[in-house]
Structure 1
Amino acid sequence: MRLLNRLNQYQRLWQPSAGAPQNVTVGELAARCFCSERHVRTLLRQAQQAGWLIWQAQPGRGKRGRLRFLASPASLRKTMMEQALEQGHQLSALGLAQLAPGELRAMLQPFMGGQWQNDTPTLRIPYYRPLDPLRPGFLPGRAEQHLAGQIFSGLTRFTCDGQRPSGDLAHGWDISADGLRWDFYIRSTLHWHTGDTVATSQLYQRLLMLLRLPALNRLFISVKRIAVTHPQRLTFYLHRPDFWLAHRLASYCSRLAHPDMPLVGSGPFRLTLFTPELVRLESHEQYHLSHPLLKAVEYWIAPQLFARDLGTSCRHPVQINIGKPEELATLSQVSSGISLGFCYLTLRKSARLSLRQARRLVNIVHSSSLMQSLAVDENLITPSGTLLPGWALPQWDDREAVPLPARLTLAYHLPVELHAMAEQLQRHLAELGCELTLIFHNAKSWDGAHPLAQADLIMGDRLIGEAPEYTLEQWLRCDPLWPHVLDAPAFAHLQATLDALQILPDEEERHAALQQVFSGLMNEAVLTPLFNYHYRISAPPGVNGVRLNPRGWFEFADAWLPPPEC
């Protein structure tokens, strides 16, 4: 970036006098810029032609010339950033900002929120961490799950209220009387983000690739085979009926990328840039459902900028603020709610931890002031009184407090609130004569290498997006947590129970049966929820159509910006 180098050199010329006029020799300027006298003369000539400074040289070697500055490096940087953004060079804009880390906040923030750039509406979201790569199957991060839903389409999708599946790539489907054949009718007007027509055979290929993933193979365990039975029809043949099948296909983990290009989808937005500093989405003009109202959405990722700034999206992953510091007074909370997802505690019954001891631990968590005294941001979490609305926690008689084991081990992963929870529980149990060893797993899930085999107690975060009852069934079926919490016979019985309830065609019956499964786990003190998060989205007055979705984000396709005043 030649322009970046010129600005960097200009900064070196400016610094000694902070912009005041200087009497200086060419040799001194060359030393500042770590270059030859010939090169510094070229820099001075170029800067003067650009209107940045005035250089009045004096005849004679070693004579002092007069250097006057016409623009500050900060103002030049801002102008260059605006020009780069107008020209669609977002990475150049970020590069310009990163020249001066100490001023990064002031430089970037004016470009956040809703902006019209080059006559196109663009929404820029400041974000606190790099996004993980988008890979097929399950993703641990809420932001990545949401992003996958914006880029890729599934055979089905969840309705706006997030409760039931509806058509997406398939406009409809039929189920045979015995529940063993599902025909999905594929739309005839589908296009990939490349502009190419979507072929049913390509969707078939990608589905087969997904089913080779161990976690998704468990999710679709009832599928015997898939076939293209017509150029516009995909047919699923099942071993046993599975009336969650349309839900499974609507989940973000089942969204379908191009079989040969894993980052090309057919969703409302196409991915045009994915770097640790910037992620950019642009609207897909040939999207088969309602077209997005924004041209582009960008995540501007700068952890050093947002780590302590409460005026960005980075106060906490579940609290998104879209706007600039000067707009904080005008930001309004446009949508909020309590997450259905929860942080949880599971207890593995063993020779070291009996049922009565496990129940006492659960009572300690819910009956003491332990969660109320956590050192977390105010109004960030609320203790869970139910697993889901109407799924009440069990009540046990704890008048006779059974002694706790002398030693226990707790394994837990992110989010950071579980750090505070683990330390608080450790202190509380120490007062009761139980030494709690903590093992922190620095990840958002239990995928990959994990310490579960060493743990008596386990804490984690169960994200719930759409269709909460189905999501909990998926959790029991696919998460590597459960084979470690339950012994082999209990885990096999759990899976058989899930197989039995999925064949119930009536949704209310399935929900009731699943509630009984979780009631049993809670009554046995195997599982207890800890707390839910407060989801919040705030935006300045000019950003419209922002509505909290079940995953704690908002649908980018619904957001819109009014055009600027003439």
Structure 2
Amino acid sequence: MRQLNRLNQYQRLWQPSAGAPQQVTITELASRCFCSERHVRTLLRQAQEAGWLSWKAQSGRGKRGTLTFHVTPESLRNEMMEEALKSGHQHNALELAQLAPEDLRALLHPYLGGLWQNDTPTLRIPYYRSLDPLVPGFLPGRAEQHLAGQVFSGLTRFNGTSSEPTGDLAHHWEVSTDGLRWDFYIRSTLHWHNGDKVETVQLQQSLIALLALPALRKLFQSVSRIDVTHPRCLTFILHQPDYWLAHRLATYCSRLAHPEQAMTGSGPFRLTVYDSDLVRLESHEQYHLSHPLLKAIEFWITPTLFDYGLGTSCRHPVQIAIGEPDELASLRLVSNSTSLGFCYLTLKQSPRLSEMQARRLINIIHLTELLHTLPLNEGLITPTQEMLPGWCIPQWPELRDVQLPKTLTLIYHLPVELHTMASQLKQYLAQQGCDLTVIFHDAKTWDGCLKLADADIMMGDRLIGEAPEYTLEQWLRCDALWPHLLSAPQFAHLQATLDAVQTLADEQARHIGLKTIFTGLMESAVLTPLFNYQYQISAPPGVNGIQLNTRGWFDFTQAWLPAPKS
């Protein structure tokens, strides 16, 4: 970045006298700027032409000239940033921002939140971390899951708050009476983000590649093959009925990318930038459903910027703020809800931990003040007695006579609240004569965790998608936790039970079957929920159409900005 280099060189000239006039030689200036004498003369000439300084040389080699400064480096940086922001060069602005975070508050004030940039309605969201690649299959982060749903389309989708899938790339589908053949009728007006028409055979290729992933193979284990039975029809042939199939195809993990271009989708927004400091989405003009009301969405990712009090979209990852930094504390709350997703605790019963001891431990969590005394931000979490609404935890006597093991091992992964939970639990168990060894798995899922086999207790976070019951079925099928938590016969029985439930054509019957499974897990002290999160989104006046979804984000296609006042 040429501007940044010029600013750095000007800063080096300025620093020794803090802007006061200097008597200095060309040789000294070249040493200060780490360049040749010829180059430093060019720098001085360019800076003088720009009005930044004056240089009066003295004739004769080694003579001292007079260097007079007319502007400060801070004011130059401000001008450069404003020009970069006005011209839409976000990368340049963010690179300049790294130099002086303390100056960003005033500079970025007009540019965050919603604004019209060159007659283009744009929403800019300050974000606290870089985003992981949008690879096919399961993604650990809520933001990445949400983006996958905005960039890519699936054969089916969830619409709004409905837990029943509806058409997306397929406008309708039919199921044979035996549940073994599913015909999905593909829209004829589909386009990839690169402008090419979507061919049904491309969708078949992408689906076959997706189902080859080990985790997705578990999810679609009933699918024998996928055929193109008509230029606009995809047919799934199953070896056993799976009435969750349309749900499986509607979730973010089943969204389809171009078979030869992994970041090219057909969703409402196309990716134009996906870097560590900036993500930009622009509306897809050939989108086959309702078009977005905004032209562009940007994530400005500058973690060091937030350390200086500018504010962030995530004061906590479940509390998103969209807006100007000076107003983050007073932004209006536009949407909030209690997440159906939950943090949970599981217990692996073995010769080290019996079912009665596991029940005693769960009682310590739910019948004491442990969950209510966690030193967390007020309003962030809500202790829960339910897995889902109506799926209540069992009520047992206090079991004070049951002695806990002398030692136990707990392993847990993110979110950060489980740091506090693990510390509190260790203290409570120490009072009962149980020494708890605590191990932290620094990730958002159990994938790649090598210590699960040695743990007695596990704590993690279970996101709930648009269809709560189905999401929990997917959790039991695909999460790496369950083969380590259950014995081989128990795990095989669980999978066989899930297979039996998926063959039930009636949705309510499938829900009842899943509730029975989870009730059994809670009754046998294998699983208990801990707390739910309080999702929040705050935004400045003028940003409209924001409504929380089940992942704690909002549908980007529905957000809109009023026209600017003349």
TM range (shorter): over 0.9
1:243 alignment partner AA: Y
Q: Does 1:516 pair with 2:479?
A: no
- Secondary structure of 2:359 counterpart: helix
User: Which residue of 2 is the match for residue 318 of structure 1?
Assistant: 318
User: Which residue of 2 is the match for residue 209 of structure 1?
Assistant: 209
User: Which residue of 1 is the match for residue 268 of structure 2?
Assistant: 268
- CA shift, 1:449, in A, is 3.7
CA 1:355 to 1:330, structure 2 compared with 1: closer, same or farther past 3 Å? closer
2:422 alignment partner AA: A
- CA shift, 1:108, in A, is 4.8
- CA shift, 1:20, in A, is 4.5
Contact 1:257–1:266 (Cα < 8 Å) also in 2: yes
CA 1:122 to 1:22, structure 2 compared with 1: closer, same or farther past 3 Å? farther
User: Which residue of 2 is the match for residue 136 of structure 1?
Assistant: 136
CA 1:278 to 1:512, structure 2 compared with 1: closer, same or farther past 3 Å? same
**Match runs of 1:338-357 below 5 Å:** 338-357=338-357
**Match runs of 1:296-307 below 5 Å:** 296-307=296-307
> In 1, Cα distance between the equivalents of 2:505 and 2:128?
44
**Match runs of 1:141-220 below 5 Å:** 141-220=141-220
Contact 1:306–1:314 (Cα < 8 Å) also in 2: no
Q: Does 1:288 pair with 2:268?
A: no
Q: Does 1:497 pair with 2:502?
A: no
Q: Does 1:485 pair with 2:453?
A: no
> In 1, Cα distance between the equivalents of 2:564 and 2:308?
32
User: Which residue of 1 is the match for residue 533 of structure 2?
Assistant: 533
Q: Which moved more, 1:42-51 or 1:222-231?
A: 42-51
CA deviation map 1:514-551 (0-9, x unaligned): 11111111111110001111111111112222211110
CA 1:208 to 1:555, structure 2 compared with 1: closer, same or farther past 3 Å? same
1:244 alignment partner AA: W
1:172 alignment partner AA: H
Contact 2:321–2:328 (Cα < 8 Å) also in 1: no
Q: Which moved more, 1:291-300 or 1:516-525?
A: 291-300
> In 1, Cα distance between the equivalents of 2:178 and 2:267?
33
- Secondary structure of 1:557 counterpart: coil
> In 2, Cα distance between the equivalents of 1:310 and 1:361?
43
1:248 alignment partner AA: R
User: Which residue of 2 is the match for residue 363 of structure 1?
Assistant: 363
CA 1:96 to 1:308, structure 2 compared with 1: closer, same or farther past 3 Å? closer
User: Which residue of 2 is the match for residue 507 of structure 1?
Assistant: 507
> In 2, Cα distance between the equivalents of 1:58 and 1:399?
93
CA 1:563 to 1:76, structure 2 compared with 1: closer, same or farther past 3 Å? farther
Contact 2:109–2:326 (Cα < 8 Å) also in 1: no
> In 2, Cα distance between the equivalents of 1:558 and 1:143?
17
Q: Does 1:414 pair with 2:414?
A: yes
1:544 alignment partner AA: N
2:80 alignment partner AA: M
User: Which residue of 2 is the match for residue 230 of structure 1?
Assistant: 230
When the two chains are superposed, the root-mean-square deviation of aligned CA atoms in Å is 2.0
User: Which residue of 2 is the match for residue 384 of structure 1?
Assistant: 384
> In 1, Cα distance between the equivalents of 2:397 and 2:410?
25
CA deviation map 1:126-150 (0-9, x unaligned): 1111111111111111111111111
CA 1:512 to 1:541, structure 2 compared with 1: closer, same or farther past 3 Å? same
- Using structure 1 for the length normalisation, give the TM-score: 0.95
CA deviation map 1:168-207 (0-9, x unaligned): 0001111112211111110000000110000000000010
Q: Which moved more, 1:304-313 or 1:326-335?
A: 304-313
User: Which residue of 2 is the match for residue 372 of structure 1?
Assistant: 372
- CA shift, 1:246, in A, is 0.6
User: Which residue of 2 is the match for residue 80 of structure 1?
Assistant: 80
- Secondary structure of 1:273 counterpart: strand
Contact 2:82–2:107 (Cα < 8 Å) also in 1: no
> In 1, Cα distance between the equivalents of 2:270 and 2:456?
44
Gap runs ≥5 in structure 1: none
Q: Does 1:552 pair with 2:557?
A: no
Contact 2:191–2:287 (Cα < 8 Å) also in 1: yes
- CA shift, 1:250, in A, is 0.2
CA deviation map 1:212-248 (0-9, x unaligned): 1111111111112111110011111111221111100
> In 1, Cα distance between the equivalents of 2:93 and 2:338?
37
Aligned residue pairs, count: 566
- Using structure 2 for the length normalisation, give the TM-score: 0.95
Q: Which moved more, 1:101-110 or 1:225-234?
A: 101-110
Q: Which stretches of structure 1, 4 residues or longer, exceed 6 Å deviation after superposition? A: none
> In 1, Cα distance between the equivalents of 2:386 and 2:167?
32
- CA shift, 1:468, in A, is 0.6
User: Which residue of 1 is the match for residue 433 of structure 2?
Assistant: 433
**Match runs of 1:439-478 below 5 Å:** 439-478=439-478
- CA shift, 1:279, in A, is 1.5
- CA shift, 1:382, in A, is 1.2
Q: Does 1:42 pair with 2:42?
A: yes
- CA shift, 1:59, in A, is 5.1
Contact 1:279–1:298 (Cα < 8 Å) also in 2: yes
Contact 1:476–1:482 (Cα < 8 Å) also in 2: yes
> In 1, Cα distance between the equivalents of 2:504 and 2:149?
28
User: Which residue of 2 is the match for residue 561 of structure 1?
Assistant: 561
1:48 alignment partner AA: Q
Gap runs ≥5 in structure 2: none
